């Protein structure tokens, strides 16, 4: 394994001893500066040591980004799109290496690692088309010989704070759109997955260098919440896009709001699938199991709750128990396995704590959890996906646990099921499995799901880049990726042009001199 990972790092141009990266060239930081060791949850091995961005380094990065923005905003949007197109091609070339590194550093399955890089490629393709479609509106003026219209301008520096569970895709969702809109980016990846961030920065830095674009157009800083706080409190960064827990998002939102900046928050999810009496249970099983155990339950869109009609509750539970008995847990780089490790031992402790809290509240585990031990689980991060019968109002059920714990809840009527689905603080993703048209339409109506994402006959995870991604309530209200999410990265300007020989005032006001 170590030889293979060394080869991957070589392919991506990462030095295991000194991989720290800022705006386009290596930097050493202070002589005895802080470092972060990146450990793989797959086997517990240390992959590399990364130097942390100091406050002085950070200011240098921001200054360089600002200077780059002065140039980048003058580049026509379709030309900016061409740079993003080349980034997509570079990602295609490095898809296998980068996807493997994602899998090894984060712990998700190899197929999911490849899928994450494919999301990056897809959003680049989307952004290339968008670069010719940053449309404004033309409006009719009430004053004669006047023209009114609105247009969109870049904000400046966009700060991106991403989480460990999608260590590269979320950066690309933000960066591809921000760049074609004329912004420059400063990215702080999770301190738990710094190497994937360095790999991406090296890839885009190569594209920028080939095109003689200033390196400050795309920037990377490495560190923990301390460096993140520098970003959120920095008035030189008009927009902070942050992905992570609700707790983190509240802190970011408060800090950015205090300086009247803009924040784009994509936070926690407590996602449910309603299994109707009219559902195709075999199809529902696939969506429920993948949603619950994919990425070891560490997606913001992971399925946390199954709300099952009482008439099919027992039969569907039996299907779930059988399916969980067939799950293969182990090395995520082995494509025969379904479930890899949690990110670290802190995550394992949170998983075990949640199980105990669930039992204390009266939860009945029909599939028991636990930590796996033995020769193939040396990292101590492999756990058993588990299933518990619960009530929706349990405190632990109201909380998002980033682990493969699935809660089963019984319902009688669709109105009751929708109320249960909506009866949590979070509002990211939701789904109903039904072949009944009336049920499907009610679920999607304003009497249905209160989430930012609502699906029929597919699960809660696996969103496509063409749609706006994000949720309501404690999920933060932000939208990333497709649709018109690009507007979050721009400022709106209304323009009025008077081509008459007089100066009439609006609302018929007279002001004669």
For strands 426-427 and 472-473, give the pairing: antiparallel
Strand partners for 187: 160, 220
- Backbone φ and ψ of 417, nearest 5°: -60, -45
The two three-digit tokens of residue 512, written as one number: 């004669």
- Backbone φ and ψ of 165, nearest 5°: -75, -30
Q: CB neighbours (10 Å) of residue 76? A: 11
Out of 112, 119, 191, 266, pick the active-site residue. 266
DSSP state, residue 399: S
- Is 266 a catalytic site residue? yes
Alpha-carbon distance of 134 to 221, in angstroms, equals 29
Out of 300, 358, 386, 451, pick the active-site residue. 300
Contact between 269 and 429 under an 8 Å Cβ cutoff? The reply is yes
Alpha-carbon distance of 61 to 65, in angstroms, equals 6
Contact between 121 and 36 under an 8 Å Cβ cutoff? The reply is no
Contact between 231 and 159 under an 8 Å Cβ cutoff? The reply is yes
DSSP state, residue 29: -
Q: CB neighbours (10 Å) of residue 278? A: 18
Cβ-based neighbours of 205, under 8 Å, separated by 6 or more: 21, 23, 24, 25, 215, 218
Task: Name the residue with tokens 């609105």.
Answer: 150
The burial of 508, by beta-carbon neighbours within 10 Å (0-12 exposed, 13-18 middle, 19 or more buried), is given as exposed
Backbone φ/ψ region at 73: left (φ over 0), alpha (ψ -120 to 50), beta: alpha
How does 337-372 read in b/e, with b if 16+ C-beta sit within 10 Å?
Answer: bbbbbbbbeebbeebeebbebbeeeebeebbebebe
Angle at 309 between CA 308 and CA 310, to 5 degrees: 110
Alpha-carbon distance of 252 to 248, in angstroms, equals 6
CA neighbor of 69 nearest in space, from 172, 187, 235, 218: 218
Backbone φ/ψ region at 481: left (φ over 0), alpha (ψ -120 to 50), beta: left
Cβ-based neighbours of 154, under 8 Å, separated by 6 or more: 69, 72, 73, 181, 182, 183, 489, 490, 491
Distance, C-alpha 84 to centroid of its chain: 19
The burial of 493, by beta-carbon neighbours within 10 Å (0-12 exposed, 13-18 middle, 19 or more buried), is given as exposed
The set of catalytic residues is 266, 300
């Amino acid at each position: 394994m170590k030889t293979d990972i060394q080869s991957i790092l070589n392919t991506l141009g990462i030095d295991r001893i000194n991989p720290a990266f800022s705006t386009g060239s290596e930097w050493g930081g202070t002589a005895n500066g802080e470092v972060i060791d990146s450990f793989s949850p797959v086997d517990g091995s240390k992959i590399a040591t990364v130097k942390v961005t100091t406050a002085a380094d950070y200011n240098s990065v921001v200054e360089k980004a600002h200077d780059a923005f002065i140039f980048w905003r003058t580049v026509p949007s379709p030309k900016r799109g061409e740079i993003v197109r080349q980034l997509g091609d570079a990602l295609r070339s490095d898809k296998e290496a980068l996807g493997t590194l994602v899998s090894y550093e984060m712990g998700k399955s190899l197929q999911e690692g490849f899928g994450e890089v494919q999301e990056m490629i897809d959003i680049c393709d989307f952004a290339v088309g968008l670069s010719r479609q940053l449309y404004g509106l033309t409006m009719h003026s009430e004053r004669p010989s006047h023209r009114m219209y609105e247009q969109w301008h870049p904000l400046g520096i966009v700060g991106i704070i991403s989480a460990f569970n999608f260590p590269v895709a979320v950066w690309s969702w933000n960066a591809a759109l921000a760049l074609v809109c004329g912004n420059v980016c400063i990215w702080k990846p999770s301190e738990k997955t710094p190497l994937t961030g360095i790999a991406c920065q090296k890839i885009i830095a190569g594209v920028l260098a080939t095109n003689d674009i200033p390196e400050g157009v795309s920037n990377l800083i490495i560190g923990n919440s301390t460096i993140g706080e520098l970003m959120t409190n920095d008035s030189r960064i008009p927009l902070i896009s942050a992905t992570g827990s609700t707790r983190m998002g509240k802190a970011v939102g408060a800090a950015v709001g205090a300086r009247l900046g803009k924040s784009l928050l994509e936070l926690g999810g407590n996602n449910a699938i309603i299994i109707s009496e009219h559902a195709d249970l075999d199809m529902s099983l696939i969506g429920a199991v993948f949603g619950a155990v994919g990425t070891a339950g560490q997606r913001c869109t992971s399925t946390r709750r199954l709300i099952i009609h009482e008439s099919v509750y027992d039969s569907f539970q039996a299907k779930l128990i059988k399916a969980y008995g067939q799950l293969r847990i182990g090395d995520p780089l082995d494509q025969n396995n379904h479930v890899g490790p949690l990110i670290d031992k802190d995550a394992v402790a949170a998983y075990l704590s949640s199980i105990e809290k669930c039992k204390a509240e009266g939860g009945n585990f029909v599939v028991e959890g636990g930590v796996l031990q033995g020769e193939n689980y040396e990292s101590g991060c492999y756990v058993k996906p588990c299933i518990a019968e619960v009530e929706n109002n349990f405190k632990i059920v109201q909380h998002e646990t980033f682990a493969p714990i699935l809660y089963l809840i019984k319902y009688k009527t669709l109105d009751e099921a929708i109320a249960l689905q909506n009866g949590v603080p979070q509002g990211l993703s939701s789904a109903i499995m039904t072949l009944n048209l009336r049920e499907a339409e009610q679920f999607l109506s304003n009497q249905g799901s209160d989430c930012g994402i609502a699906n029929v006959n597919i699960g809660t995870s696996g969103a496509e880049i063409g749609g706006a991604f994000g949720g309501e309530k404690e999920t933060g209200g932000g939208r990333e990726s497709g649709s018109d999410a690009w507007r979050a990265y721009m400022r709106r300007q209304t323009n009025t042009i008077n081509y008459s020989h007089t100066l009439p005032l609006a609302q018929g006001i007279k002001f004669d001199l």
